[in-house]
Amino acid sequence: MAEQKFDLVVIGSGPAGEAAAMSAAKKGMRAAVIEKRPAVGGNCTHKGTIPSKALRHSVKQLMRYNTQAVFRALGEPRRLTFPQVMETVHKVINYQVEMHTSFYARNRVELIIGEARFRDAHTVEVLLQDGATEVLKAEKFIVATGSRPYRPADVNFNHPRVYDSDTILDMQHTPHSIMIYGAGVIGCEYASIFAALGIKVDLINTRDSLLEFLDDEISDALSYHLRDMGVTVRHREEYAKVVPTDNGVIMEMQSGKRIHADALLWCNGRSGNTGSLGLENVGLEANHRGQLKVDEHYCTEVDSIYAVGDVIGWPSLASASYDQGRAVAAAIAGRGHRVIEDAPTGIYTLPEISSVGQTESELTAARVPYEVGRALFKHTARAQISGERVGMLKILFHIETHEILGIHCFGAEAAEIVHIGQAIMKQPAPNNVIDFFVNTTFNYPTMAEAYRSAALDGLNRVMRL
């Protein structure tokens, strides 16, 4: 049984694990990464962020072809099967794996493919692919094992018509209709993707409205556009029983409704991947969703073991996970730490959504005197040229100081556009004010000039007070 010693061992090669390992290596630590899958990248690369966003991009291209008049000279609108659209996704995944694999060699981080299990607080055993066992000792460990879809025991996920957000990517047919149970970020994204493919979608939401953490106006806009795409949104519904049949799935609701579709996509929650880590050997216990509790330094209750990424829960964003990985490496190296908070939200529905900062509801509850500046995309020349007229940019700012309090964007390239506002919002006072957008010249025509239009709209409202 081989034994190696490291300064740091990271379990998991997703965004959090990779960032931690690379950052540690650049700080002079001897680091290793253990990855359970045959290829690096974690769930983000193989089942989550990258596949779903690549799928969305392909579907958006198809939508553009089918809806813009200029393409009608090339023929009638086209329909593609789900497996056909997934062909592009696999190419992106392969490129991502190749790129991320090169990072380990370049930074001299040892990559070990196998399943890790703690023996004690400074030792893990790794079951390798060939059945052999390797022992790794280290001063510090980082658990970055990510998460997987939550699967309730009373739903038969072995049935060929029942999927979760991981297995849906392997679907080999194109259903005529699909039920999506759970209207969180993943559920809403897939609802818009399947609707754009011409599939009838029932989106079942257990809450009162879609994505309640969003600004109310943005949530309402999402609901409107999903329905406009043909999605049936059902609020305040919970399942009582899932009954798979030979030709589909029936979901019996607690309200008495019976909904039938060709397939079911379960998107109701996620669980941390901690069950096989041997946490009992080091005195750690995950919560009911498999998540680990950490302090402001991302350290668990065991001094030598840290945790980052989806395995610690909120915000469960790839972008935040990268930052958490770098932050925990800095903390371990004794170079300070950074708590990741107020990360921008990117939701890749069709159209997409992005926001940073506070919402109108939060500001109202806190009794903050604020005003709103809006710019509708349909009024910008760039949106008119590109045909992306759906959407708006919304800036929330303090009436007296003009400090930017929140940026909310709905429409094409929202996740890119929001960063302009974020950059100004994060500047120290007095530079973090809405006036910046009025006093700055933007390229024309661009989507970015929506900031000037929104700022003028907001400041004009203040002048009328």
Question: Could you read off the pLDDT of 113-167 as tens digits, one per residue?
Answer: 999 999 999 999 999 988 899 999 999 999 999 999 999 999 999 999 999 999 9
Q: What is the mean pLDDT of residues 437-450?
A: 95
Average pLDDT score over residue span 37-63: 93
Is pLDDT at 458 greater than 90 in this prediction?
yes
Average pLDDT for 58-64: 87
User: Cα separation of 278 and 65, whole Å?
Assistant: 51
User: 65: pLDDT confidence band, cut at 50, 70 and 90?
Assistant: confident
Binding-site annotation, residues for FAD: 35-44, 53, 145-147, 310
How far is the C-alpha of 105 from the C-alpha of 85, rounded, in Å?
33
Question: Residue ranges for the binding site?
Answer: 35-44, 53, 145-147, 182-189, 269, 310
251: nearest Cα among 264, 242, 238: 242
pLDDT tens, residue by residue, 205-215: 999 999 999 99
Q: What pTM value is reported for the model?
A: 0.93
CA dist 404 and 418 (Å) reads 13
* pLDDT for residue 465 is more than 70: no
Which has the higher per-residue pLDDT, 309 or 3?
309
Tens of pLDDT, residues 306-320: 999 999 998 888 999
* Binding site as annotated, residues for NAD(+): 182-189, 269
Please compute the mean of the pLDDT values over residues 315-334 and round it to a whole number: 92
Domains and CATH numbers, the chain: 2-149+271-332 (3.50.50.60), 162-268 (3.50.50.60), 351-463 (3.30.390.30)
